[in-house]
Structure 1
Amino acid sequence: MTNSGKPSAPFGRTLCAMVTPFTRSGAPDLGGAGLLAERLVAEGCDGLVLGGTTGESPTLTDAEQADLVRAVRDAVGPRASLVAGVGTADTRHSVELIRAAEKAGADGALVVTPYYSRPPQDALQAHFRAVADASGLPVMLYDIPARTGIRIEPETLIRLADHPRIVSVKDCSDDLLATQKVLARTDLAYYAGSDEHILALYAVGAVGCVSTVANVVPGHVAGILAAFDAGDPARAARLQLRATPLIEAMTAAGLPGAVTAKALLNALGLPAGPVRPPLRPADRAATARLLALHAELTGAGQNP
Structure 2
Amino acid sequence: MTNPDKPPAPFGRTLCAMVTPFSGTGALDLDGAGLLAERLVALGCDGLVLGGTTGESPTLTDAEQADLVRAVREAVGRRASLVAGVGTADTRHSVELIRAAEKAGADGALVVTPYYSRPPQDALEAHFREVADASGLPVMLYDIPARTGTRIEPETLIRLAGHPRIVSVKDCSDDLLGTQKVLARTDLAYYAGSDEQILALYAVGAAGCVSTVANVVPGHVTGILAAFEAGDTTRAARLQLRATPLIEAMTAAGLPGTVTAKALLNALGLPAGPVRPPLRPAGRAATAQLLTLHEELAAAGQTV
Q: TM-score band (shorter)?
A: over 0.9
Give distance in 1, aligned partners of 2:125 and 2:254: 32
Give distance in 2, aligned partners of 1:70 and 1:217: 25
TM alignment of 1:130-149, pairs within 5 A:
130-149=130-149
Could you tell me which residue of structure 2 aligns to residue 56 of structure 1?
A: 56
Give distance in 2, aligned partners of 1:183 and 1:113: 19
TM alignment of 1:183-262, pairs within 5 A:
183-262=183-262
Give distance in 2, aligned partners of 1:298 and 1:269: 16
1:257, CA displacement in angstroms?
0.4
Determine whether 1:113 maps to 2:152.
no
For structure 1, the residue ranges without an aligned partner over 5 or more in a row are none
Could you tell me which residue of structure 2 aligns to residue 35 of structure 1?
A: 35
**1:246 partner SS:** helix
For structure 2, the residue ranges without an aligned partner over 5 or more in a row are none
- Output the amino acid matched with 2:60: L
Task: Calculate percent identity across the aligned residue pairs.
Answer: 90
Count of aligned residue pairs for this structure pair: 300
- Output the amino acid matched with 2:211: S
Give distance in 2, aligned partners of 1:208 and 1:270: 25
Could you tell me which residue of structure 2 aligns to residue 19 of structure 1?
A: 19
1:5, CA displacement in angstroms?
4.0
- Output the amino acid matched with 1:9: A
- Output the amino acid matched with 1:113: T
RMSD of aligned alpha carbons: 0.9
1:55, CA displacement in angstroms?
0.1
**1:240 partner SS:** helix
Could you tell me which residue of structure 1 aligns to residue 273 of structure 2?
A: 273
1:302, CA displacement in angstroms?
3.5
Could you tell me which residue of structure 1 aligns to residue 172 of structure 2?
A: 172
**1:79 partner SS:** coil
Give distance in 1, aligned partners of 2:24 and 2:301: 35
CA distances 1:76-96 after superposition (whole Å, capped 9, x unpaired): 000000000000000000000
- Output the amino acid matched with 1:73: R
Give distance in 1, aligned partners of 2:195 and 2:237: 13
After superposing on structure 2, the runs of 4+ consecutive aligned residues of structure 1 that deviate more than 2 Å are: none
- Output the amino acid matched with 2:226: A
Give distance in 2, aligned partners of 1:152 and 1:10: 21
**2:77 partner SS:** helix
Determine whether 1:123 maps to 2:110.
no
Give distance in 2, aligned partners of 1:79 and 1:21: 21
